[in-house]
Amino acid sequence: MSSVTVGTLPRISREKLAEMVRAKQPGFTIIDVRDSDFIGGHILGCKNVPVHTHDYKMPELVRTLADQDAVVFHCALSQQRGPASALRYLREREKMSKNGQLAGSDGVKQGQTVYVLEGGFTQWQEIYGEDPGLTEGYVKDLWDDAW
């Protein structure tokens, strides 16, 4: 089993992620694992895969993202749900690779990097919430005193 832990997962800054989103850099996907707190805004182009769906969605997610260079997970603060989801994704990916479930997939990236967004969407929206080139569906009033 992987030696990666929640504490050793690589982090990505909101500034670096914003550069990637602005540049429409290919080969990376952002996974927002928030549940009902997804309302009020999200990073442009992210996929919402709520935590409560991970029991049955994780294998599908691993197969769908097999060709990506990087996958970025986040929740509101990226303290619990985001890191736990990233770790679960890594473990599922490792298990599927060992079982040969990814071996036949075209373009499987062996060196795929899995990140956690530092500060989650809460810190993201502080700088980029009102930037339509980086954030979709933003409702400022929901975030004014949220955290």
Do the beta carbons of residue 125 and residue 43 sit within 8 Å? Answer: no
Taking the C-alpha atoms of residue 60 and residue 125, their distance in angstroms, rounded to an integer, is: 29
> Which DSSP state fits 49?
-
Taking the C-alpha atoms of residue 127 and residue 123, their distance in angstroms, rounded to an integer, is: 7
Taking the C-alpha atoms of residue 95 and residue 3, their distance in angstroms, rounded to an integer, is: 14
Marked catalytic residue, from 33, 58, 72, 75: 75
Decide if 75 is catalytic: yes
Catalytic residue list: 75
